[in-house]
Structure 1
Amino acid sequence: MRLLKSQAILRLVNSYMVDSPQPANISYLWNFGSLLGVCLIIQILTGVFLAMHYTPHVDFAFNSVEHIMRDVNAGYILRYTHANVASFFFIFVYCHIARGLYYSSYKSPRVMLWSIGVIILIVMMATAFLGYVLPYGQMSLWGATVITNLLSAIPVFGHDLVELIWGGFSVNNATLNRFFSLHFLLPFVLAALVVGHLLALHVHGSNNPNGISNNGDRIPMHPYFVFKDLVTIFAFLLVLSVMVFYYPNVLGHSDNYIPANPMSTPASIVPEWYLLPFYAILRSIPNKLLGVIAMFGSLLILLILPLTDLSRIRGSQFRPLMRLAHWFFIVNFFILMWIGACHPETPYLEIGQASTAFYFLWFLVIVPVIGIIENTAMDIATIKKENLL
């Protein structure tokens, strides 16, 4: 029985990691998936070891993090690795999504693959937010207060929902305990979603960069793409090592090294850098409820791309208009990230509102209009060709 089980596991590994046929022309842009898998493994392992020494209590949380840094053997390496890999996790996931947008990886027959990926992104953001609260520094406390308070914008039961999450009338010990429990649990939910993502990927294989059928030139995953993945994995580990040992706080916020004080509000309350674009969208809308809807809508709107992209051509390789629109979208995303870190005042507020409008118009107007223009141009070219014949 054990032999049969081990054979089944080996066949599964062989199917996914060895014999899995992949388009021969996929580039290093397809390596972000393996990098994200490495990030998830590192985060789960370091998180488990950190949890052994962390105390989820408002009076001891900050000191327990300092204890990890100062007293636990290699504790500072664990803590800085966990914090910096979280940033790399989002760098890689944003690059992974950008590649998917450029090559239209969301189109049929990969709609399920894309949808699971969007859910993974949302769960990642929730996990990162919960983890940011755990050190219980100034930015942890006030970030948690501001973000959880957003739910009070929900009509009728919003305030009750916020108090339910807090376990009281403010961010307190019950809140920290709940956030710690969820932060420990969600990575395993994330791992399960990743398995579903891989299963969906295995059905139709990776998208072809040229936007054509995958049934042509294919080569096995091993050794070609396994060694290609190892190149970027080792490069990532090298950069990560440099950051952990020499620049551990370059992507962090200095206020989080100040113990949480509910009587002292920081000059500027901002989330981690990877949540700034969505924070900018939230602040760009004066109405609190509409701002919350827009913030969550900015993530869920990714799910409608299979419907709004009307072009018959897959990818942007041979679509100059779409290629230009794609780069405008990328630039706009960075503008939103910059605005999210600025004070909500003139001219940043107006720039944020313009960028937010462009963000939603890109999905709802620009992508479908470009698709219609391209389809019309193709039809006209076909008619002209038939007339010449």
Structure 2
Amino acid sequence: MSSPRQVTLLGSTGSIGRQAIAVAEQNPDRLRITGLAAGGGDVARLAEQALALGVRTVAVARATAAQDLQLAFYAAASKRGWAKGEYSLPEILAGPRAAEELAARPADVVLNGITGSIGLRPTLSALRAGRTVALANKESLIAGGSLVTEAAAPGQLVPVDSEHSALAQCLRGGARDEVARLVLTASGGPFRGRTAEQLADVTVEQALAHPTWDMGPVVTINSATLVNKGLELIEAHLLFGVPYADIDVVVHPQSIVHSMVTFSDGATIAQASPPDMRLPIALALAWPDRLPVVQPALDWSAASSWEFAPLDEVAFPAVRLARLAGETGGVAPALYNAANEEAVAAFVAGRLSFRGIVDLVARTLDDAPDLGAPGCVEDVLAAEKWAREHARAVIGQGI
């Protein structure tokens, strides 16, 4: 039997990271996590993860958290009843570029589960070092665009999002020139079926109550506005090279069919499984193979109904806006993402209405100067900086 695939896990204390650890622990003969990176907001959990997994290296983005992490290691070891000297501490990398450095270290797969476009540099670092990148950090691909796609060799980027994992599986059913359409499914979020007027008074608590998935706050609110689906539309285009005109979004509240591919002969192949992120995570880590122990399959002996409905683009204009940004190209998708991150933060802080989130993204795209295609990471960061400053100024005016 071959040795386990070595995995570097970026964003280990978040939802994706914790589920990736569970998958690796279920399959110790196939996967071994050797490096962890996190922001530094939960050093106790990070220390516990590192000691339990026996990793070589831990990276923490907040430089001031390095000392706290060292103390957390001692506390976690003491809780386990280990006397001093009975265990070795992992190497600690600290600072804003720590994850980027770790991503280039030896490993078979780098799972990027960082939230936000701060994941761009680690994605590029891992690709340039020749690592397979299991990409849960869609924002780095969307913001980086051609920087990422040109840095990636064929097959080097493997999607973790359930929709793109589903598309990758369905695409095995035919040749590239046989693909007619990609169909992304959307749960519709907690406000499916509401009109634009009924979304006017949505609260933060309501937006955080997703009916199907257990995700972090930013992703959950993005799912409520359907910005998440807009980002996934751009991601699908960049990952699979299918024109925007040939990518559809359909509402499927049960979240059982994760996406579909329609082929030129009229056949549609769908990937169906219970809504559980462990499956796409496991598949990305073991790609192109499947792991034997991940999650229960659908129970076909129980009656069930699946619904599909067109997206209401009047109540939820985020997908149409993302399509426009994607077709504009250059840094427009980065502007879309950065403005949305600012808008979500303002909504959570009570300074912006729910409907104001997408309104602010639209205004940012409308007001943007022609910034051209990004030639380097600094160009992306400059575009994002403009979008964030513009968004904050508009919020300050009371949009």
Instruction: Tell me which protein shows more helix as a share of its residues.
Output: 1
* TM-score normalised according to structure 2 size: 0.27
- The structure with the larger Rg is 1
* TM-score normalised according to structure 1 size: 0.28
Instruction: Tell me which protein shows more strand as a share of its residues.
Output: 2
